[in-house]
Amino acid sequence: MGDNVTVPCGWTILMDVDPAEIYALEINGDVIIDDRDTVIIAKYIWIRSGSLTAGNSTNPFGYKLTILVEGSSSDPTYVIDPNLAARKCIVVTGRLSLYGVAPETTSTRLTSKAAAGDTTITVDQLQGWAAGDSIVIAPSFSNGYQFERAEIQSISGNTLTLTQPLNFTHYGEATTITTSIGGLDMRATVGHMTRSIKIVSNDSAVGWGFRLVTYNMDDASVARNGRVAL
């Protein structure tokens, strides 16, 4: 899968095309993602002494950026230094700055009970949500594994119609429990998951994700201080 690619120190690259699949990408210069939908596929990415940037805090990246980390548990490890060797990893000893566009509402709560088998739920807030977006619904009872991910088929007011029935029941009645530190809202939380910038693992490697590591290291007698802004 692909070649090893190194961006030399002192270079500034505007990435205005999807690069071919890469085995190992080492960034010592500056790579800026152009204003376009972009997909980067690699087994290893090491932002060594340079930077990888998409958008900034005042002007978020307005397109889709997907960084796909390929590989399996049988791949050889990629050695960064004597303290770190890993498969399927993004290592930051330079600077990673990714500023995407998020909806106004990123987390809300149910406003009525959602029973197993239901295909609609009602929520308190949903500014910026749209059909096709992914959401997650938190568990309500003693089984912490009764969470689920769903896809929005359509929206009417504050009611979401889902593409598939719910697997579990989620509490949504307005009930507050008073504790020593204040009121505890018992309604299930609903989180919005769709983002314009995603770092994901390949679907074929079920149960084998990736690592994103940021740390400080001594690199040829030079101190590298990893920095991440997401």
Distance in angstroms (rounded) separating the CA atoms of residues 164 and 143: 21
Give the integer Cα–Cα distance in Å for 66 and 176. 40
Q: Which two tokens stand for residue 54?
A: 């998409």
Instruction: Give, for all 230 residues of the chain, the pLDDT tens digit.
Output: 679 999 999 999 999 999 999 999 999 999 999 999 999 999 999 999 999 999 999 999 999 999 999 988 888 888 888 888 888 899 999 999 999 988 999 999 999 999 999 999 999 999 999 999 999 999 998 899 999 999 999 999 999 999 999 999 999 988 776 666 777 788 999 999 999 999 999 877 667 788 899 988 888 778 888 899 98
The residue among 17, 47, 14, 50 whose CA lies nearest residue 33 is: 14
pTM of the complete model beyond 0.75: yes
Spell out the domain ranges in the chain: 3-102+196-229, 107-192
Query: For the chain, what is the total number of helices (H) and then of strands (E)?
Result: 0, 24
